[in-house]
Structure 1
Amino acid sequence: MTDHRSIEILTGLTAEQRVALGELYARLDEELRVEVHRRQRELFKEWLALGRVAPSRGGEAGYAAFLAVLKQIWIEQAPQVTQPVREHKPYKKRLRAALEKNYLDELVRLREEEKLSWRQLSDHFKKEFKKTVSHTYLKRIYEEHQADRE
């Protein structure tokens, strides 16, 4: 009977992760599969020499070494497989772009028609739009907008 717990302890992998690595193995080309088995044999011998596994658990230890090597290959190949991470604008630039695009008209209307103070405007944006913006930042954006209009 297979000792799943010893496989999990040796590899640090859950059953789902072991299945995923088996699927990875199926997609490897033959040259890489041979490399997996070469490295598996070396790792298994190393574990035996270190006393990490008992010779009576050779089946589980061999399979665990196989999975450990697959995990390492997956890590090595991950940069080639994954898509590049989309970089985000810094928070201040995103906030400013959103304020200028979506809320600038509201800022101008509230300031000119309702004569709200900068602190009242800041509170209004926090309550109505869930945007935390300092009163000084709102003033700066408003003044820059007014300068652009002139």
Structure 2
Amino acid sequence: MPQSLARVLIHTVFSTKDRDAAFQDAAFRAEVHAYMGGCAKTLDCLPIQIGGTADHVHLLTTLSRTLAVAEFVKEVKRVSTNWIQKRGGLFQQFHWQAGYGCFSVSESKIAAVARYIETQEEHHRKISFQEEYRELLRRHGQAWDEEYVWD
């Protein structure tokens, strides 16, 4: 019987709508990250490292061989948004930004990317999310338009 195999690693980054600092509470942020890991698993995408700060998230995962990147991001955002909004209060209006960045990761770089995601708090004491995102885009040779990248 023929077998289809794939090992595709992706680093996905997106922010809260208008970069709202919705996850200031570290315990809640950890819950959100764990929930997103569960969303990834449900999609047959192995979560390797998930982290971020009060206004954005990084996901290092595998990508299922039967799923497009856009489907993966759309579903993780949709399901996590519903879960966050059910928390009530100010979270009833929660949304992720419309866009995202998704970058390929070499097998040899898993540990470095995981560490980068793990140390987001420290990293963002030095640079803003926008500076970080621009640098990711530059490193991956991706052109962008400032007018549209921050929706």
Higher RCO (C-alpha 8 Å, min separation 6)? 2
Larger Rg: 1
Q: Which has the higher strand share?
A: 2
TM range (shorter): under 0.3
TM-score (norm 2): 0.27
TM-score (norm 1): 0.27
Q: Which has the higher helix share?
A: 1
